[in-house]
Chains A and B, each alone.
Chain A
Amino acid sequence: AQTVTQSQPEMSVQEAETVTLSCTYDTSESDYYLFWYKQPPSRQMILVIRQEAYKQQNATENRFSVNFQKAAKSFSLKISDSQLGDAAMYFCAYRSAPGSNYKLTFGKGTLLTVNP
């Protein structure tokens, strides 16, 4: 079974600075998807960024980018120019390539604090 590990329970960053959240995963599959979700106090999980394992290019969405290292099974999230609204719980998630397995497997999360 796949597992997702987020080794940083909490992180903090100063407003306007850059922070990197770590995620590693364990799988024997070669084709899969990786996601970062954000959960603010409103509780709704919001998709931040996704990466297909077959793509070598790292995904980027505005101030959010990933460093995907397939061989190392590492998928870190970099937030540039941090804003107060970025404060939230961040979850890394894994999903097998589309087929019969619908499951999204989550890590335990990293609580990000943004200091003004």
Chain B
Amino acid sequence: ETGVTQTPRHLVMGMTNKKSLKCEQHLGHNAMYWYKQSAKKPLELMFVYSLEERVENNSVPSRFSPECPNSSHLFLHLHTLQPEDSALYLCASSQEGVGNYGYTFGSGTRLTVV
């Protein structure tokens, strides 16, 4: 399998649930990202990991907890979410240091909080 794979594709969760989003990249990239895409708003950068170290956290609420166990995998752990957290969550990767510096994206997880 190639590219960036995200699971699950759809997720419905209650406000008291705990769930995790998974992202896997097969491109040998050294940086990974979580973005949030809401209707009528620009994509919002949430977290950046470079070489498995978190290098950016854009004032994201603590109910979102990222984890990067290795350079190929990225998780977003969710707990006690709010209805306004319903959105499309996109994972991306890039090769920093060389290359064209664009991101390769996954197909996203559509999250609905009820």
Contact = CB atoms under 8 A, between A and B. Distances in A.
Interface of A: 4, 33, 35, 37, 42-47, 50, 91, 95, 98, 100, 102-109
Nearest to B4: A44
How big is the B interface, by class?
20 to 34
A33 B106 CA distance: 21
Interface stretch (B16-24, B36-44, B77-85): B36-44
Nearest to A91: B43
A98 B102 contact: no
B94 interface: yes
Nearest to B50: A102
A72 to B, nearest CB: 21
16 contacts: A4-B42, A37-B105, A42-B107, A43-B107, A43-B108, A44-B106, A44-B107, A45-B92, A45-B103, A50-B101, A50-B102, A102-B33, A102-B96, A103-B45, A107-B42, A108-B40
